[in-house]
Amino acid sequence: MVTSSREAFHRIFQDRPELLTPVFRVLGLHLPPEAAVEVLTPDTTEPRPLERRVDSVLRISPSEGPAFLLAVEAHGRRDPDKASSWTYDLAFLSATYGMPAVLLVVCQDRATARWAAGPLLTGIEGWAALRTHPLVLGPDNVPVITDPDEAGRNLALAAFSAMTHGRGQDSPALLEALARALSTAEPDSVAYYSELLEIGLGDTPARHTWRHLMRTVGTFFPGRGTLVEETYLKGKAEGKAEGEAEGRAEGLAEAVLRVLRARGIDVPEDVAARVTACSDPARLDLLLDRAVVVTVAEDVFVAE
């Protein structure tokens, strides 16, 4: 079963197949823009008590050349069992659908990306019967998009960039660029990417930063407890418009404290009381920005 963060990394290829063209360009491969993309079942179960599953399987039919399968996996750590399971999955898919299959692995950290690139060997010492060479996307080859205009031209790639680099030092600039690009996007795109980023960033300080940037209604990921979903359900149940100053201040104050604690920073009682006592959303926005970078809780009040 995939985690929420993993789901976002492979789900975006299903929902926004236009991302495949720039991704293949990053990988040094050619994919005609007219290619048709079809989502297939990721189940690679055979009629035995053995179940395997890849995250997503797409059938890609280029305007020129033969069709092929693209299996997508989001992976967060080294796993010695993947050498055999990924080899099996590719062979099974190719045999089942009668066409070539390739594997794309998405990673958020460089060490995992380097390992996933392989080659992953199956066989005995001194003789590799099979070699698996996954395509890999990670911090070293996914572009860093910090320009709002560039983000606006390709929201899918900008969102993927923000998730891939969400744990790095460029994260605040990436999120700011995407948020600005979404300010002029159509409502459906705003709602979709708002939730996609919140899920894809996982339990990180970047996720808290993203939550306070986005204030929209409607949900593409029901049951995930995202800010968009919470806002929608609260407004529907209480008949109120989200965004009242008092409620927003309380939410921002909670976010400041949660970001500090999530980063492992000790928050003294007097600091917590000072944050929660603040009722000015603009000032709390500033405290939240500082909470992402400070090393001591008291420093959120620096220069005040």
**pLDDT of the residue at 239:** 45
**pLDDT of the residue at 103:** 92
Same domain, 213 and 254: no
C-beta of residue 99 within 8 angstroms of C-beta of residue 126: no
Same domain, 233 and 251: no
Same domain, 114 and 100: yes
One-letter amino acid identity for 17? Answer: P
Which of 195, 221, 238 lies at the terminal end of a domain, its last residue? 238
One-letter amino acid identity for 92? Answer: F
C-beta of residue 285 within 8 angstroms of C-beta of residue 212: yes
- The residues pairing with 37 across neighbouring beta strands, listed in sequence order, are 60
Same domain, 278 and 195: no
**pLDDT of the residue at 217:** 37
Which of 104, 137, 170 lies at the terminal end of a domain, its last residue? 137
Same domain, 30 and 123: yes
Instruction: Give the predicted TM-score (pTM) of the model.
Output: 0.64
Which of 137, 152, 177 lies at the terminal end of a domain, its last residue? 137
Q: Which domain holds residue 21?
A: 4-137
Same domain, 171 and 53: no
Same domain, 234 and 292: no
Written as tens digits, the pLDDT of the chain (304 aa) is: 345 677 788 878 888 888 888 888 888 888 776 788 888 866 654 444 334 567 888 999 987 788 999 998 888 788 888 878 899 999 999 999 999 999 999 888 889 999 999 888 888 888 888 889 999 999 999 999 999 899 999 999 999 999 998 888 888 889 988 988 887 888 788 888 888 888 888 878 888 888 877 754 344 555 556 665 565 556 555 544 444 556 677 878 888 888 888 778 889 888 888 998 888 888 888 888 888 888 888 888 876 5
**Number of domains within the chain:** 3
Same domain, 16 and 111: yes
Q: What share of the chain is helix, strand, coil (3-state, %, to 5)?
A: 50, 15, 35
Nearest CA to 150 out of 140, 139, 161 is that of: 161
End-to-end CA distance of the chain: 47
Nearest CA to 166 out of 139, 135, 136, 195 is that of: 139
Nearest CA to 198 out of 221, 174, 179, 226 is that of: 226
Same domain, 247 and 276: yes
Same domain, 93 and 11: yes
Cα 152 to Cα 267: distance, rounded to the nearest angstrom: 38
Cα 243 to Cα 216: distance, rounded to the nearest angstrom: 10
Same domain, 66 and 176: no
Same domain, 179 and 114: no
How buried is 193 (Cβ within 10 angstroms: 0-12 exposed, 13-18 middle, 19+ buried)? buried
Residue with tokens 């300010």: 183
